[in-house]
Chains A and B, each alone.
Chain A
Amino acid sequence: MSPFASYLVRRLAQLVPTILFVAIGNFVLVRLAPGDLADVLAGESGAATPEYMAQLRSEFGLDQPLWAQFLAYMNRLAHLNLGYSFRYHQDVLDLIGSRVAATLLLALTAITIALILGVVFGILASRFRGSLLDELISVIATIGFSVPLFWVGLMGVVLFSVKLNWLPIGGMWTIGGQQTGWYGNVVDVGRHLVLPAATLSIFFMAIYSRITRSAMLEVSQLDFVRTARAKGISETRIVVRHILRNALLPIVTLTGLQLGTLLGGSIVIETVFAWPGLGRLAFDAVAGRDINLLLGIFLCNSILVVVMNLIVDILYGVLDPRVELA
């Protein structure tokens, strides 16, 4: 086995105890909140009797001792079964599956926009350090990570949807509309994606541009850059191949971590734009004390974060030959 392959196997093997640990932690955590699903259902129904509450708890397995509930949960996990959501009357895996695509589309689009614009702004700011352009980018970045996203989102809706009528208010596609063919659908989803993706990317773009700028400035002071210049390499090549490649390391780390969390959904953006993603599902699961669904979402998120970390570590090796993956 090559050193890289054995590294990969070792890292993947480490995932198992990590995820198990997370699963146990989740199981304990979700039970710390007062109240359970039977309370919620009785509360929503406007009336109940003690017998009805007992019937619900026995149906949900909440009348079992905690250790028995835990063993049942572990047993299900061992069979790759995330359980049944008694609140939504559906399998947890189906519920999560129905939301993943929307979340992936939104998160990946937003991160891609943020990365491209953020890195370009960062490069420009560092190349023209102290100039008007640098100042301008700095001001935009500060605004970007200090304004609340729900406000930016709502203002976007007011301007582009209510006043100008250019873009839809929310949702993922035109409901009840007649889109014809593959192309029509892509355009339709694209139109719905513009506002939420742009809003979500603002915050990340601001961070990326600041980090790129400072990393670029730091690297450009290093000896090998001076050596490269002394060798007469073109400035563009120095910036792209020598400075940027090294400056990318912190950005890769950050993107990996953020992507991990973003794939869990962005509650604020999904709420403002009625985007049918995982974040809202998780929020509703907390409010409804839907333990099986909540554990399922938490577990998927944890796996995503851990896997993203692994990918970041591997990318490190690719970007920086000094890092050995063995």
Chain B
Amino acid sequence: MFKISRREMLVGASAMALQLPAFAGQEPHKGGTLIAVVQPEPTALTTVINSSFYHGIVSTNMFDALLTYDENFSPQPGLATSWDVSPDGLTITFKLRRGVKWHDGQPFTSADVKFNFLDVLRKYNARGRINLAPVESIDTPDDFTAIMHLSKPAPALMSALNSQDAQLLPRHLYEGTDIAKNPYNLKPVGTGAFRFKEWRRGEYISMVRNPDYWDQGKPYFDEIIFRIIPDAAARSAALETGEVMYAPYDAVAISDVPRLGKLPNLAISTDGYSYQGHMLMMELNTQRPQTSHPKVRQAISFAMDRQRLTDTVWYGLGTPAKGPIIHTSRFFSSEGVPQYPYDLKKANALLDEAGFPRKENGIRFTLSSSYMPFGETQQSTAQFIKQQLKQVGIDVTVENADLPTYLRRVYTNYDFDINQGSFATFIDPDLGLFRFYSTEQIAKGVAWSNASRYSNPTMDKLIAAQKSEPDEKKRLALMHQFQKMAQTDLPMVPLMEMHHFTTYNRKLHGLRKTPDAVLQGLKDAWLAS
């Protein structure tokens, strides 16, 4: 604590008064160009045909969706101004915003909504095929009403309608075309705050203010340019010199974060990512000789020093995990949920009990570990896990591979004991997390399916029950049971809730703070003059 004397306070106050005019530039105001960076470069400018985050970072500036979300992830108006879920959970009625125009001047109507949900998202969007599976039909009694009929209640659906997960494309430019090859995927026409201007592959994507945007007064920037800078060190340098002002999604090396955070012109923020609920986990192959034993899986979990992993390998950008659901989620509970604090004694005892004593060389057995090839920190994590497990007599061979090789090895050949990486559990676990625990999701050849091949009929029933439980309280109770069972059977060993980060220039203001903010465009952002 520091103290301020009365005199200092007076001096400070008068200085503040003198500075008042300078504050005039600190209000949101129109104008200016924001130079941002996106890494890697998107392959198209809509999330409909590729729903990876870097497609979302850029395209959500040009597209809207039915809903947006607030800081508690409660639905807020987007292109839908109101919505009504029937008591049986089988019908959702959306009232649409009037007077919204596509960037080419055509009006946005309920026919666009129907076309997108039935003919586009459910067919061409990898996540939409899963999230929107319960949507049976859509009625459009007038231009501004869309009534969605579901085959069964789907409470998670209302959490999957932002412009990352359910971006709306213009029907008049897409209907009757090959959606995946439609040229507008590369020069999008949306209803969003910014209009597409130019894309020079390998260099930049630019967009300009949409003067007819429905959210009056927004956006603030005249233009946003997303630059493509493939080298992490060069991105750091560009932020340092001010050439780039906004770099979301871990765009600089994590080891560079402490240094950049200390620079006077830069700030680091971890807001805007929790919607994806990225959890660092180890998926253990339940069909392998050693990891098929629940006691071995529990021992592995006890052998993990999660705090040290967070502090050293991840430079503090995470929270040690207490279960498979992130602790800020309303679905999280720890009461009666088994915990695995770092305890080598317990780990060793469990391994002995499981019938794997140490041999003469001190090693019990060898495991093969694959990790998601998403950056160097995942590799360091694999090395960290190797060291941790060595202490309890488990020797780990770490396999390196690029993404397609990794996917084949783990999800087609099941050739792994430990599959480590960042798993997207999503804000509603039904949209992400449960696929790693459900028998239905054992799907050879499908990325991010249930590769541990864990199968428990009780667990399957739990997952099925919560999926169509319209009562929130009952659903929370089911989620609680899920967490207990997940932490007992342990096909997935949660290690750390990941904190992705944005590096930005302090002149940049108005960044949203909602759980999905980074994937919701920059219409609220402005530059201090």
Measured CB to CB, the residues of A under 8 A from B are 33-36, 39-53, 55, 59, 84, 86-90, 95, 98-99, 102, 150, 154, 157-158, 161-162, 165, 168-172, 175-176, 270-274, 276-277, 280-281, 284, 286-289
Helix, strand, loop or mixed for chain B's interface? mixed
Flag whether B72 is at the interface (Cβ < 8 A): no
By the criterion CB–CB under 8 Å, are A88 and B201 in contact?
A: yes
By the criterion CB–CB under 8 Å, are B203 and A175 in contact?
A: yes
Contact with A along B209-244 (1 / 0, CB 8 A): 000000000000001010111110110011011010
A172 to chain B, nearest CB (A): 7
Contact of A169 among B238, B405, B449 (CB under 8 A): B238
By the criterion CB–CB under 8 Å, are B186 and A43 in contact?
A: no
By the criterion CB–CB under 8 Å, are B229 and A274 in contact?
A: yes
Name B127's closest neighbour in chain A (CB-CB): A47
**Could you jot down 17 A-B contacts, CB within 8 Å?**
A34-B408, A42-B446, A45-B125, A45-B126, A47-B448, A48-B446, A52-B126, A53-B445, A88-B43, A98-B200, A150-B231, A157-B233, A168-B243, A171-B227, A175-B204, A176-B223, A274-B231
CA distance A162 to B225 in the complex (A): 21
By the criterion CB–CB under 8 Å, are A95 and B201 in contact?
A: yes
CA distance A280 to B228 in the complex (A): 12
Please tell me which stretch of B44-52, B138-146, B282-290, B453-461 contacts chain A, meaning at least 4 of its Cβ atoms lie within 8 angstroms of it: B44-52
8 Å CB contacts to A: which residues of B240-269?
240-241, 243
Which of A36, A88, A95 counts the most B-chain CB atoms under 10 A from its CB? A88
Flag whether B206 is at the interface (Cβ < 8 A): yes
By the criterion CB–CB under 8 Å, are A169 and B237 in contact?
A: yes
CA distance A33 to B443 in the complex (A): 22
A135 to chain B, nearest CB (A): 34
By the criterion CB–CB under 8 Å, are B243 and A49 in contact?
A: no
CA distance A154 to B447 in the complex (A): 36
By the criterion CB–CB under 8 Å, are B35 and A45 in contact?
A: no
Q: Total number of A-B contacts with CB less than 8 angstroms?
A: 177
By the criterion CB–CB under 8 Å, are B403 and A43 in contact?
A: yes
CA distance A211 to B231 in the complex (A): 33
A59: chain B residues within 8 A (beta carbon):
180
Contact of B435 among A47, A50, A170 (CB under 8 A): A47
Name B183's closest neighbour in chain A (CB-CB): A89
By the criterion CB–CB under 8 Å, are A169 and B243 in contact?
A: yes
Contact of A99 among B40, B52, B202, B405 (CB under 8 A): B202
Given A46-B448, A169-B241: A272 in contact with B234 (beta carbons within 8 A): yes
By the criterion CB–CB under 8 Å, are A46 and B229 in contact?
A: no
B41: chain A residues within 8 A (beta carbon):
284
B180: chain A residues within 8 A (beta carbon):
59, 86, 89
CA distance A50 to B447 in the complex (A): 9
CA distance A89 to B129 in the complex (A): 21
